[in-house]
């Protein structure tokens, strides 16, 4: 489970940088290689959390997962695709 410190980081900053995501991933035993994208790493974390790997799929700017800690990153990534 992600520690309260990481959730605090996620809630304070609208968007999370790759270094912070890598630290969160490590708490789940996920080791990022040099070629993994921010989105791929978040999907790996979502799977480890037993959640649907839905990051970057809010194409219409809508999402019913109000408590998701990746919400702002999701909307941002969906706009880029």
With helix as H, strand as E and coil as C, how does 8-63 read? HHHHHCCCCCHHHHHHHHHHCCCCCCCCCCHHHHHHHHHHHCCCCCCCCCCCCCCC
Q: Which residue has the higher pLDDT, 80 or 3?
A: 80
Which pLDDT tens digit goes with each residue over 7-52?
555 555 557 788 889 999 999 999 888 788 889 999 999 999 998 9
pLDDT-based confidence at 1, cuts 50/70/90?
A: very low
Q: Are 25 and 37 in contact (CB under 8 A)?
A: no
Could you tell me the residue range of the domain that residue 9 belongs to? Answer: 4-80
**For the chain, what is the domain count?**
1
Q: Would you say residue 75 has pLDDT above 80?
A: yes
On whether the pTM is more than 0.75, the answer is: yes
């Amino acid at each position: 489970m992600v520690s309260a410190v990481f959730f605090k980081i996620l809630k304070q900053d609208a968007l999370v940088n790759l270094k912070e995501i890598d630290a969160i991933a490590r708490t789940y035993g996920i080791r990022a290689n040099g070629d993994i994208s921010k989105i791929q790493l978040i999907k790996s974390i979502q799977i480890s959390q037993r959640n649907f790997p839905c990051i970057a799929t809010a194409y219409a700017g809508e999402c019913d997962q109000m408590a998701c800690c990746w919400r702002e990153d999701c909307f941002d990534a969906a706009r880029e695709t």
